[in-house]
């Protein structure tokens, strides 16, 4: 299944080809999902590096050395993570030393910091602790500001290799702050710019269809000589993200090409486009609420708290999100939210009348500008012929009006709840920007 | 960072050594996290297969062929996923055919099913659609009951290789139902049993410490000749999971060895052990509530709905979880939950007095057996000298008593909220089973 229309030969002839190496038995045994490779792949791609291969090997010295030898044949850049810890199973430093034919040495800055910490805490330092601050002799240190073990960079022939800790919280800042500047030095002086467009309400194939032949528009073609642009799609369920990656020799040329495409992308995506860059839907709703000094309350049935949790995942959300009612059982819909008995009897809990009352009631109860409500059938049980699993009623209420919306999107329990949460936030956003309601093609 | 004490040479001499191969540009570019490798690694490890290497390559025919050649040298089993879709970028069938020196052929059962579907929907079938139902000539078909593309198994010399779709929903049932029986035929007639122990409240290193030399206890040693046991740790934040993997020739020997170890593991983990097997904390609380016919309500501040969301992720939770109040803003704590002004002024929202009133109030308001409440400082802002980020007050209330608990566990916003959620469910569980309160070493 492919959603990319980038030219393979073009990316294949990227100025640098890289192999990712993730080290650790726990990854092979599937006890941890390898999220480091995805992070590194994404960052390197954004730099204009072609990631040709991902390799995962266990904590065995000879396997790590063999993987390095292999990787050195695939390309001129190796980015590795894992195996820098304190135990006898952590063999990356030894393996890299063996690969280079050098000895491991203590790295003085991290060693000194470790000794200071142990003294402060009145602990005795052990040889195992000191294992962690070793690097291969002659390697360039990559400082670890969130953990004990330093990373390092080495060179063997034409190949540059970076070794990072396996813990994502240590690996990520080290890579971004220290490895990327060194990788940039290996790249020709090109400018690479990434633009992310966030859409909701269109399936991946529909987004793809709307953007087909984007790169063929006349204005964009004008720039094709100077700027190489690729377009990538990513499903971040239920959202679809579109990434434009532009590379050229001069910043103004890259920006000019992207400006043409930006206008075209916005036009074609229409109101499915809810934001750009890294901000997710909750953050987009946050910004709109903060700018207007308005507040929001939630009334949740099938999502059981997921909307509140999503809103409060953003730091500072207390400025606009006051709280809500999880009305999972009908007794809470009646008793706390005042949904009428007749509504529940005549229309059921999954109905327009019910979510309308829930949204209006929670808005008044908590004294907020907006109220949003969800009631649906998340499954796997509870579906009927009229209201199958995946049926969700939503309402968003302001002092002026209440919008109601029915979605029916079959999926498993978690998907239905995620769709309902995204659709609820989207409906609030539409209530704040009514022009976003006009696209009939949107499913959310 | 290693938490495993299994004997490397022992697992290295497992009866089968496997390479995992995940195919797709989108994985190298980091647009998708490779969760298939973790699933396959976990399943194969449980079967007693040693996963030595994970390889990820792009949708390039020559790269896939090269990866297969390499993998065939690493071990006698290859399990691959991805590249079976309908587009011209999906090259796995072509690559495997080239590797084997055979031609791709249409697989009649899946082709017929596809043609039937297209006729039913009145769609014209395209050559691209038919690409998807090809397999290499002579391959064994693995039926795809959740999608269009068949998987397949092939043999080259001593090497058996399985090719599965990249979509997890199609890959997982195909692997479990069709590939595993074939893999079992390659294994000697040994019995492999996996036991999972779920702990909360002890750090990974403390769990490790408590179980150190577990395999050396006299009774366990008696079985060491017949049964190979390894112990693995996994941090599923904030829980620590312990897995015992036992392999032997006879089921009764394996069971006898595990029975000895089971008793010892339970004794050493004490009340940090909250459950076994696949059931997470929410499911354990669920079972206890269902057995007693009791109900629960939540009052959440810093978790913003996460406890309700966690409880309702379990299907059927409406039988015991009625709902709750997300009292994010103090106005909701006062107005809906009736927390007194003096409590908020004198003690603050993050205080024993506040969570006690919240838990007792939500229990009465919703008419449930139990009420649980959380109020804390999730950060990154809002911390003070007295109440730094990571300070969380919890309360669980029954008709007889209210338990309050303070935890202080520094971490980022998401970690603090996850800890608070786990600790809240754990406190309800302790309230239901007061003997679980006795372990002073537990931090949650």
Q: In this structure, are A388 and A299 located in the same domain?
A: yes
Tens-place pLDDT, residues A191-232: 888 899 999 988 777 888 888 888 887 677 777 778 888 888
Q: In this structure, are A216 and A265 located in the same domain?
A: yes
Q: Which structure tokens are listed for B12?
A: 């290295």
Q: Which structure tokens are listed for B304?
A: 């913003």
Residues of A numbered 412-441 whose beta carbons fall under 8 angstroms of chain B's beta carbons: which are they?
413-414, 417
Sort out which chain B residues have CB atoms less than 8 A from A324's CB and list them: 305, 325-326, 328
**Do residues B240 and B234 make contact, with C-beta atoms less than 8 angstroms apart?**
yes
Q: Does B10 have pLDDT greater than 60? A: no
Q: What pLDDT is recorded for position A13?
A: 54
Q: What pLDDT is recorded for position B267?
A: 93
CA B354 to CA B199: how far, in whole Å? 29
**Interhelix angle B281-292/B413-432, nearest 10 degrees:** 30
Strand partners, B323: B297
Binary contact (B38, A34; C-beta < 8 A): yes
Q: What pLDDT is recorded for position A2?
A: 28
Interface test with A, best of B25, B175, B207 (most A CBs within 10 A): B25
Q: In this structure, are B171 and B268 located in the same domain?
A: no
Strand partners, B403: B396
Q: In this structure, are A59 and A137 located in the same domain?
A: yes
Q: In this structure, are B22 and B164 located in the same domain?
A: yes
CA B404 to CA B427: how far, in whole Å? 9
Q: In this structure, are A182 and A205 located in the same domain?
A: no
More confident residue, B31 or B54: B54
Binary contact (B29, A51; C-beta < 8 A): yes
Hey, is the C-beta of A307 within 8 angstroms of any chain B C-beta?
Answer: yes
Q: In this structure, are B260 and B291 located in the same domain?
A: no
Separation of first and last alpha carbons in chain A:
24
- Mean of the per-residue pLDDT values for chain A? 90
Binary contact (B414, A300; C-beta < 8 A): no
CA A382 to CA A302: how far, in whole Å? 11
More confident residue, B103 or A147: B103
Report the residue of chain A nearest B335, measured CA to CA: A366
Q: In this structure, are B61 and B116 located in the same domain?
A: yes
Question: Chain B: nearest CA to A88, how far in angstroms?
Answer: 8
Q: What pLDDT is recorded for position B238?
A: 86
Interface test with A, best of B13, B22, B27, B29 (most A CBs within 10 A): B29
Residues 6+ apart with CB under 8 A from A262: A195, A244
Q: Please check whether residue B12 lies inside any domain of the structure.
A: no
- Using CB atoms within 10 Å of the CB of residue B440, give its burial: 0 to 12 exposed, 13 to 18 middle, 19+ buried: exposed
Q: What pLDDT is recorded for position B437?
A: 81
Question: Chain B: nearest CA to A242, how far in angstroms?
Answer: 11
Q: Please check whether residue B443 lies inside any domain of the structure.
A: no
Hey, is the C-beta of A35 within 8 angstroms of any chain B C-beta?
Answer: yes
Hey, is the C-beta of A73 within 8 angstroms of any chain B C-beta?
Answer: no
% of chain A with per-residue pLDDT over 90:
67
Sort out which chain B residues have CB atoms less than 8 A from A318's CB and list them: 328-329
Q: What is the pTM (predicted TM-score) of this model? A: 0.82
Q: Please check whether residue A27 lies inside any domain of the structure.
A: yes
CA distances from B116 to B109, B122, B123, B227, B282 (A): 11, 10, 10, 52, 43
CA A312 to CA A321: how far, in whole Å? 8
**Do residues A326 and B311 make contact, with C-beta atoms less than 8 angstroms apart?**
no
Residue B233 lies in domain: 191-276
Hey, is the C-beta of A66 within 8 angstroms of any chain B C-beta?
Answer: no
Domain CATH code at residue A338:
3.90.950.20
**Interhelix angle B61-74/B92-100, nearest 10 degrees:** 60
Domain CATH code at residue A29:
3.40.980.10
Q: In this structure, are A78 and A127 located in the same domain?
A: yes
For chain B, the residue count is 444
Q: How many domains does chain A have?
A: 3
- Please say which residue of B169, B186, B203 terminates a domain: B186
Interface test with A, best of B40, B54, B169, B282 (most A CBs within 10 A): B54
Q: In this structure, are B289 and B425 located in the same domain?
A: yes
Binary contact (A327, B327; C-beta < 8 A): no
Q: What pLDDT is recorded for position A60?
A: 95
- Please say which residue of B225, B242, B276 terminates a domain: B276
Q: Please check whether residue B339 lies inside any domain of the structure.
A: yes
Q: Is A144 in a helix, a strand, or coil?
A: coil
Binary contact (B41, A60; C-beta < 8 A): no
More confident residue, B169 or B367: B367
Residues of B numbered 362-401 whose beta carbons fall under 8 angstroms of chain A's beta carbons: which are they?
365-367, 378-381
Binary contact (A234, B313; C-beta < 8 A): no
Hey, is the C-beta of B141 within 8 angstroms of any chain A C-beta?
Answer: no
Question: Chain B: nearest CA to A435, how far in angstroms?
Answer: 30
Tens-place pLDDT, residues A218-276: 677 777 778 888 888 777 778 888 988 888 889 999 999 999 999 999 999 999 999 99
Q: What pLDDT is recorded for position A14?
A: 65
Tens-place pLDDT, residues B70-122: 999 989 999 999 999 887 788 999 999 999 999 999 999 999 999 998 888 78
Question: Chain B: nearest CA to A18, how far in angstroms?
Answer: 10
What DSSP state is assigned to residue B34? B
Question: Chain B: nearest CA to A299, how far in angstroms?
Answer: 9
Question: Chain A: nearest CA to B10, how far in angstroms?
Answer: 13
Q: What pLDDT is recorded for position A230?
A: 83
Place of tokens 């960072």: B1
Sort out which chain A residues have CB atoms less than 8 A from B51's CB and list them: 28-30
Q: In this structure, are B222 and B297 located in the same domain?
A: no
Q: What pLDDT is recorded for position A435?
A: 85
Tens-place pLDDT, residues B391-401: 999 999 999 99
Tens-place pLDDT, residues A41-73: 989 988 889 999 999 999 999 999 999 999 999
Hey, is the C-beta of B69 within 8 angstroms of any chain A C-beta?
Answer: no
Nearest to A329 among B25, B322, B413 (CB): B322
Binary contact (B328, A305; C-beta < 8 A): no
Binary contact (A2, B85; C-beta < 8 A): yes
Q: What pLDDT is recorded for position A221?
A: 73
Residues 6+ apart with CB under 8 A from B76: B16, B17, B158, B159, B160, B186
Q: In what order do the strands lie in the sheet with A191-200?
A: A227-236, A239-248, A191-200, A273-276
**Do residues A192 and A48 make contact, with C-beta atoms less than 8 angstroms apart?**
yes
% of chain A with per-residue pLDDT over 70:
96
Q: Does A281 have pLDDT greater than 80? A: yes
What DSSP state is assigned to residue A124? P
Question: DSSP E strands: which ranges in A191-286?
Answer: 191-200, 227-236, 239-248, 273-276
Q: Nearest-5° angle of CA A386, CA A388, CA A392?
A: 100
CA distances from A91 to A98, A134, A225, B291 (A): 11, 11, 47, 49
More confident residue, A99 or B132: A99
Q: Does B13 have pLDDT greater than 60? A: no
Residues of B numbered 218-277 whose beta carbons fall under 8 angstroms of chain A's beta carbons: which are they?
232, 234, 243
Place of tokens 């030969």: A9
Question: Chain A: nearest CA to B23, how far in angstroms?
Answer: 10
Hey, is the C-beta of B34 within 8 angstroms of any chain A C-beta?
Answer: yes
Q: Please check whether residue B2 lies inside any domain of the structure.
A: no
Question: Chain B: nearest CA to A431, how far in angstroms?
Answer: 23
Q: Please check whether residue A443 lies inside any domain of the structure.
A: no
Report the residue of chain B nearest A245, measured CA to CA: B29
Residues 6+ apart with CB under 8 A from B240: B199, B200, B202, B203, B204, B207, B233, B234
Over residues B424-434, the mean pLDDT reads 94
- Please say which residue of A207, A241, A276 terminates a domain: A276
Tens-place pLDDT, residues B301-359: 999 999 999 999 999 999 999 999 999 999 999 999 999 999 999 999 999 999 999 99
Binary contact (A8, B60; C-beta < 8 A): yes
Q: Which structure tokens are listed for B367?
A: 């008419």
Place of tokens 């964009």: A220
Q: Of the spans A430-444, B118-132, B139-153, B356-370, which averages the highest pLDDT?
A: B356-370
CA A350 to CA A347: how far, in whole Å? 7
Q: Please check whether residue A11 lies inside any domain of the structure.
A: no
Nearest to B306 among A8, A305, A328 (CB): A305
Q: Nearest-5° angle of CA B414, CA B417, CA B421?
A: 135
Nearest in space to B106 (alpha carbons), one of B157, B144, B150: B150
Nearest in space to B30 (alpha carbons), one of A36, A416, A276, A129: A36
Interface test with A, best of B2, B146, B172, B372 (most A CBs within 10 A): B2
Over residues B160-166, the mean pLDDT reads 97
Q: In this structure, are B241 and B340 located in the same domain?
A: no
CA A133 to CA A113: how far, in whole Å? 10
Domain CATH code at residue A198:
3.30.70.2860
A64 HSE (CA, 13 A, CB side): 27
Q: Please check whether residue A10 lies inside any domain of the structure.
A: no
């Amino acid at each position: 299944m492919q959603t990319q229309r980038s030219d393979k030969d073009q990316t294949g002839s990227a100025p640098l080809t890289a192999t990712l190496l993730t080290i650790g038995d726990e990854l092979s045994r599937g006890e941890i999902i390898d999220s480091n490779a995805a992070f590194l792949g994404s960052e390197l791609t954004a730099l204009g590096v072609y990631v040709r291969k991902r390799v995962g090997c266990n904590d065995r010295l000879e396997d790590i050395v063999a993987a390095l030898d292999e990787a050195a044949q695939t390309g001129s850049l190796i980015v590795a993570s894992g195996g820098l810890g304190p135990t006898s199973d952590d063999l990356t430093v030894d393996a890299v030393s063996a690969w280079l034919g050098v000895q491991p040495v203590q790295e003085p800055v991290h060693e000194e910091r470790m000794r200071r910490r142990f003294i402060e805490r009145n602990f005795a330092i052990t040889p195992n602790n000191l294992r962690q601050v070793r690097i291969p002799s002659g390697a360039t240190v990559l400082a670890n500001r969130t953990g004990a073990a330093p990373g390092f960079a080495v060179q063997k022939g034409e190949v540059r290799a970076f070794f990072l800790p396996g813990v994502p919280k240590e690996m990520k800042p080290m890579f971004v702050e220290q490895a990327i500047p060194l990788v940039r030095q290996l790249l020709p002086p090109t400018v690479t710019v990434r633009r992310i467009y966030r859409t909701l309400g269109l399936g991946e194939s529909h987004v793809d269809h709307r953007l087909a032949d984007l790169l063929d528009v006349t204005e964009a073609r004008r720039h094709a000589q100077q700027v190489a642009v690729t377009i990538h799609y990513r499903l971040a369920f239920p959202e679809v993200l579109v990434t434009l990656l532009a590379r050229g020799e001069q910043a103004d040329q890259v920006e000019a090409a992207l400006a043409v495409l930006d206008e075209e992308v916005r036009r074609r995506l229409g109101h499915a486009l809810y934001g750009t860059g890294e901000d997710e839907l909750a953050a987009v709703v946050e910004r709109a609420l903060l700018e207007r000094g308005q507040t929001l309350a939630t009334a949740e049935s099938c999502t059981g708290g997921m909307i509140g949790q999503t809103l409060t995942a953003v730091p500072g959300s207390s400025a606009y999100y006051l709280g809500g009612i999880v009305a999972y059982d009908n007794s809470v819909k009646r008793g706390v939210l005042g949904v009428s008995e007749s509504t529940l009897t005549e229309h059921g809990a999954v109905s327009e009348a019910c979510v309308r009352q829930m949204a209006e009631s929670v808005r008044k109860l908590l004294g907020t500008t907006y109220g949003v409500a969800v009631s649906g059938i998340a499954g796997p049980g509870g579906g009927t012929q009229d209201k199958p699993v995946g049926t969700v009623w939503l309402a968003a209420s302001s002092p002026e009006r209440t919008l109601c919306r029915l979605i029916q999107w079959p999926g498993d329990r978690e998907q239905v709840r995620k769709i309902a949460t995204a659709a609820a936030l989207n409906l609030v956003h539409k209530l704040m920007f009514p022009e976003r309601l006009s696209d009939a093609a949107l499913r959310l």
